[in-house]
Amino acid sequence: MRPILVPVLLAFASCAIAVPPQSTPPLPDAPAFIVAIIERIRAVPATNPPTSIVRYAYLGRLAYYVPPRCCDVPSALYDADGVRVCEPSGGFAGSGDGKCPDFFEQRRDEKLIWKDSR
């Protein structure tokens, strides 16, 4: 082998393709609309803190909460059918849209459905 070829081959052999880490899959019982929300989140750069989705019992029904990813970005609360009910927190004032002011006091049975681990 020619002397120049050895360093070139060693250089290529030591290169690794950087594959960005994938986010964790949602829990198996996550509804289709949650999977769609996760796909939209995965399509954009990761946030800090990482985006998560948490399921609660709220006013006797299942609800899915997506916390705000930053100070001026509102959170989102979805009912079990995927209808966006309100924005409990975040936004410019930090207190959401005011449509479900009792969410933090009334929510029960917290269960993390998904967290972006990128």
The answer to whether the CB of 27 falls within 8 A of the CB of 114 is: yes
Residue 111 or 95, more confident: 111
pLDDT for residue 22 is more than 60: no
Q: What is the mean pLDDT of the chain?
A: 83
pLDDT for residue 19 is more than 60: no
Span 48-65, mean pLDDT?
Answer: 96
Span 3-27, mean pLDDT?
Answer: 50
CA distance 55 to 79: 10
DSSP one-letter code for 39: H
CA distance 99 to 53: 20
Q: Is residue 4 part of a domain?
A: no
Q: Is residue 2 part of a domain?
A: no
Q: Is residue 70 part of a domain?
A: yes
3-class secondary structure, 78: strand
Q: What is the pLDDT of residue 66?
A: 97
Specify the number of domains making up the chain: 1
**Domain residue limits at 74:** 21-115
Confidence at 94, pLDDT banded by 50, 70, 90: confident
Determine what percent of the chain is predicted with pLDDT higher than 70.
79
Span 25-51, mean pLDDT?
Answer: 89
Q: Is residue 3 part of a domain?
A: no
Q: Is residue 108 part of a domain?
A: yes
DSSP one-letter code for 8: H
Confidence at 71, pLDDT banded by 50, 70, 90: confident
Q: Is residue 95 part of a domain?
A: yes
| CA-to-CA dists, residue 59 to 14, 40, 88, 101, 110, angstroms | 57, 28, 14, 12, 14
